[in-house]
Structure 1
Amino acid sequence: MTKAANFIWYELMTPDPAGAASFYGAVVGWTIAAHNDAAVGGVDYRMIVRGDGGNAGGVLALGADMLAGGARPGWLGYLEVADVDAAIDAIKADGGAVQMPATDLPVGRIAMVSDPQGAHFYIMDPIPPEDAVPGEGGVFSVTEAQHVRWNELATSDPDAAIAFYKKHFGWGQEGEMDMGPLGAYRFLQRGDVMIGAVMPLMEGYPVPVWNFYLGVDDIDRARAAVTANGGTITSEPMEIPGGEYAMNAIDPQGAPIGFVGPRKS
């Protein structure tokens, strides 16, 4: 059986890392490095640091050539695999595609792929730091602020997508929430941890996409910070099971992003 894959990294692609640093610093509390990380080699790549000193992900600066080639602001997740090349072959055999060939970096071997419906993500066989716990990147948490707390796939074929991720990444799918005419919101599990959900592609989503929800300490404070710092709210805070609230936004550079946290006022 396929070992259940973990989201071990998240990446913001943006044409303005300094602007993103200001926005996410105000809304989430992160610090984004002012200079690129030489370890990734050849590109402007900056680490996102949480208030506790841990890494929350990275920022890839989109240059003029990348933008001309079709790259757009957005977030991507990295799924850990034991063998990137074998995973590519298996994904292609089931109708997926390679968007960026396998590449060796000082931090591991990576490739960007898409599932059969077209949602993009990275796969990675990481070279962890000596003190790292295997398989646990620390960037995802179901409860903690300043982590990604939820992974949501909007797709044109939920049944096929669920089958694909179950087969290739070992996830489970149990339980769902009825969204009425919008269809079912179907929960995903990695082992006994609920990591996200799959939903039908809705109006406003031109292509299948992974959406991510960042943990915040106070949803109303975060909402005010989004608008005060140049972002746009696309769905207002809504209560979710468990009593917290989730909302969706677009950051000032155009990347869609979600937020989740308690209401304190």
Structure 2
Amino acid sequence: MTSTQSKFFWYELMTSDMDAAEAFYKAVVGWQTEPFPASDFKYVIFKPSDAPKSGVAGLMALPEEAAASGMRPAWLGYIHATDVDAATESLRKAGGTVHREPSDIPEVGRFSVVADPQGAMFMLMTPNGEGGEPAPPMTPGHIGWHELFAGEWSAAFDFYAGQYGWTKGEPMDMGPMGIYQIFNIDGEMAGGIMTKTADMPHPFWLFYFIVSDIDDAAKRVTDNGGKVLMGPMEVPGGAWVVQCMDPQGAMFALVGFRN
């Protein structure tokens, strides 16, 4: 088993139309789906085609109270915490916001809904049991990168480093867009942090789903009613990325090669 402590290990789409979103991501990413039987409300598991017994993400309806407060459909990530109660309190003391106090999900674990001091939302969870071995790099259907568009990147990095032990990788100078700071978890590159542009309404996390061919996948986005907002753009290592919006308005990204 591989420890997932302080890593993103689960991803969840909260959306305004579950059936449409399920069909969209099945078509675009190639995920299989199945309902989660232990839930007392509708919850769908997304599974890669190479590992049909192991899910990588979930799908649920955007809660009415969240929609009423102005939250739009969005992807959120879960960071593994050994003690979610202690981690939630630590985040609060460090200037973060707790949107939902820790509570239990039967047969799954204990979680909280939080935001960093600049407002980017995520979840903390102490799951029941550990996950399996991670998939090899660039395996289609898995999550390949985590990107934070922060209010100010340096302070954001300091927060995550202080709370979760993330370390700095190589910074990249993006010219007018500023510094793109790679962050490592357990010595491995896991994502990047940069200061958001003025047209972005608030800080947020963006997750990159791996596909086998980036051009084919970008076409599937638009063919199925989504939008390509940026790309395809080549990134270090020879892969290509696109940033997208699904038909309900949730932002996501894809990473893959050109075949």
TM-score by length of 2: 0.92
Residue number among 195, 219, 226 corresponding to 2:221 in the alignment:
226
User: How many pairs align?
Assistant: 253
Cα-to-partner distance string for 1:65-121 (whole Å, 9 max, x where unaligned): 542243320100000011111111111111001011111012000001111111100
- State whether residues 182 and 191 of structure 2, in contact with CA within 8 Å, keep that contact through their aligned partners in structure 1: yes
The aligned counterpart of 1:243 is: 238
**How far apart, CA to CA, are the structure 2 residues paired with 1:183 and 1:46?**
38
Displacement, 1:260?
0.3
- State whether residues 79 and 122 of structure 1, in contact with CA within 8 Å, keep that contact through their aligned partners in structure 2: yes
**How far apart, CA to CA, are the structure 2 residues paired with 1:214 and 1:200?**
22
Residue number among 164, 185, 188 corresponding to 2:183 in the alignment:
188
**Do structure 1's residue 23 and structure 2's residue 24 form an aligned pair?**
yes
- State whether residues 149 and 260 of structure 1, in contact with CA within 8 Å, keep that contact through their aligned partners in structure 2: yes
Displacement, 1:39?
2.0
**Do structure 1's residue 56 and structure 2's residue 63 form an aligned pair?**
no
Cα-to-partner distance string for 1:16-37 (whole Å, 9 max, x where unaligned): 121112111111101233x4x2
**How far apart, CA to CA, are the structure 1 residues paired with 2:38 and 2:66?**
20
**How far apart, CA to CA, are the structure 1 residues paired with 2:203 and 2:252?**
15
The aligned counterpart of 1:177 is: 172
The aligned counterpart of 2:198 is: 203
Cα-to-partner distance string for 1:204-254 (whole Å, 9 max, x where unaligned): 311110011110010000011001000011002000001110010100111
- State whether residues 73 and 253 of structure 1, in contact with CA within 8 Å, keep that contact through their aligned partners in structure 2: yes
The aligned counterpart of 2:97 is: 97
Displacement, 1:141?
6.3
Q: How does 1:17-96 map to 2 (within 5 A)?
A: 17-33=18-34, 35=35, 37-41=36-40, 43-52=41-50, 53=52, 54-62=54-62, 64-96=64-96
Q: How does 1:250-261 map to 2 (within 5 A)?
A: 250-261=245-256
| Structure 1: gaps of 5 or more residues | none
Q: Which amino acid aligns with 1:127?
A: N
| Structure 2: gaps of 5 or more residues | none
- State whether residues 4 and 170 of structure 1, in contact with CA within 8 Å, keep that contact through their aligned partners in structure 2: no
Displacement, 1:62?
2.0
Displacement, 1:178?
1.0
- State whether residues 172 and 189 of structure 1, in contact with CA within 8 Å, keep that contact through their aligned partners in structure 2: yes
The aligned counterpart of 1:216 is: 211
TM-score by length of 1: 0.90
**How far apart, CA to CA, are the structure 2 residues paired with 1:127 and 1:195?**
24
The aligned counterpart of 1:125 is: 126
Cα-to-partner distance string for 1:157-180 (whole Å, 9 max, x where unaligned): 211111111111111112111110
Cα-to-partner distance string for 1:28-63 (whole Å, 9 max, x where unaligned): 101233x4x24233x321111110212121001125
- Over the aligned positions, Cα root-mean-square deviation in angstroms equals 1.7
